[in-house]
Amino acid sequence: MSRSYTSCEARWLGAVSLATVVLGTIALSGCSRPYLFMRTINEEESRYVRFQARYGEGQDGVALKFAHPVTLGEPEWAHLLDNIVIQEQKKLLAPGAAQPAPRSAFDEDEKRYLAKHLAEGFQKARPDEWVVFYLSHPREPGVVEIDSGGFFIEGERLRLIVANYRQPVSMAFIREQIWNDPLRPAGDSFYDVIPQSYQALQTVRRKDLTQSLLKQVPELSIDYSAQLNDDVSSDGEAVGSSIEDRLRILKRLRDRGLISEEQFRMRQERLLERL
C-alpha cells in the first residue's frame, strides 16, 4: 500500500513539475520583448510622434537600413496621409445595413499634426529608426479611442503599419502598453485599410520587423514618389491647398531628382497658368 501511495504521489509530482516547466517556458518566452529606443519628436498629453528603434526581434542597427533621412514637406505628408483610406468592416447579421463608405483614415486635425511632425521626423530619422505615432481621443466617460502605428521608408516605398485604429480602451495599463509601444496591437480591429493608387496592402507578417507583434496587422506599402508626382501633374484636387504649396513640392521633387528638369518646367507652367 505504501509503495502504491508513494508511486501515486510521484506521478502527480511529476505531472505538476512537467506542467510548471512547460508553462514557465511559455510564460518566459512570452516575456521576451524587443528593446525599444525612443526619441521624442513631439509629445502632448494625448498624442505624440517619436522615433523608435527596435532591437531583438530579428533586426539590428547594422543589418537594418531604412532609406532615412528623407525630406518631404508638410504638404506632401498631408497629401500622403489624405490618401490613406479605411473602411469599417461589414457587420455580422446586419441585413439591409449598408457598409459604411471608405474614408480618409485621419481627420483634419490629425493630418495637420502628423504631417507637421512626420516632416520634421523623417528629416532627422536614422536608418534604424521608425517614426511612430500615437493619437487618442475620448470616446465616452472611461473610454478613449487610440490610433497608433509607425512609418518607415524602404527604397522608394513608404511603409505604414497601423497597429491600432479607433481602438477603444477602458483600462489604463492597455493605454500605457500602446503608449510605450505603438506598434503593439491591443486587440481586434473593426476597420480595413483600403489601398489606393500606388499603394499595396501586405497582410503577411513581417518577421524581420514585427515578429513580436501579437497580431497580424495591415502594412500599407506606398510608392510615395509616384503618388506625389501623379498628384502634382493631375488637374484634380491634389497636393497642398495652394498653388504656392504645389510649386514648392514641385521644386523639392526636382531637387531630389524624383522628376526631371523638363518635367518640372512643364508642370510649373501648368500650375502658373492657373494663376
- Please give the full DSSP string across 88-107, using - where no structure is assigned: EPPPTT-TTPPPPPPEESS-
Nearer to other proteins, 13 or 201 (CB): 13
Does the footprint of other proteins cover residue 38 (CB under 8 A)?
A: no
Point out which residues pair with 160 in neighbouring strands.
151, 220
Nearer to other proteins, 19 or 243 (CB): 19
Of the residues 1, 63, 94, 101, which one makes contact with other proteins according to CB under 8 A: 94
Nearer to other proteins, 110 or 230 (CB): 110
Does the footprint of other proteins cover residue 17 (CB under 8 A)?
A: no
- Please give the full DSSP string across 218-267, using - where no structure is assigned: -EEEEEHHHHHHHHHHSSSS-SSSSHHHHHHHHHHHHHTTSS-HHHHHHH
Does the footprint of other proteins cover residue 202 (CB under 8 A)?
A: no
Nearer to other proteins, 143 or 243 (CB): 143
Give the interface segment with other proteins, choosing from 39-47, 71-79, 188-196, 246-254 (CB under 8 A): 188-196
Of the residues 203, 216, 234, 241, which one makes contact with other proteins according to CB under 8 A: 216
CB of 263: closest distance to other proteins in angstroms? 44
Could you give the CA distance from residue 170 to residue 138 in angstroms, rounded to a whole number? 10
Residue type, 102: P
Of the residues 30, 155, 236, 257, which one makes contact with other proteins according to CB under 8 A: 30
| Ramachandran region, residue 91 (left: φ > 0; alpha: ψ -120 to 50; beta: rest) | beta
110: three-class secondary structure by DSSP: helix
Does the footprint of other proteins cover residue 275 (CB under 8 A)?
A: no
Residue type, 263: Q
Grid coordinates representing 258 are 524624383
Nearer to other proteins, 62 or 97 (CB): 97
Could you give the angle at which helices 224-233 and 74-82 cross, rounded to 10 degrees?
Answer: 100
Of the residues 1, 31, 63, 101, which one makes contact with other proteins according to CB under 8 A: 31
Residue type, 146: I
Positions that interact with other proteins (CB under 8 A): 7-8, 11-12, 14-16, 18-19, 22-23, 26-27, 29-33, 88, 91-97, 140-143, 166-174, 177, 180, 186-188, 190-191, 214-216
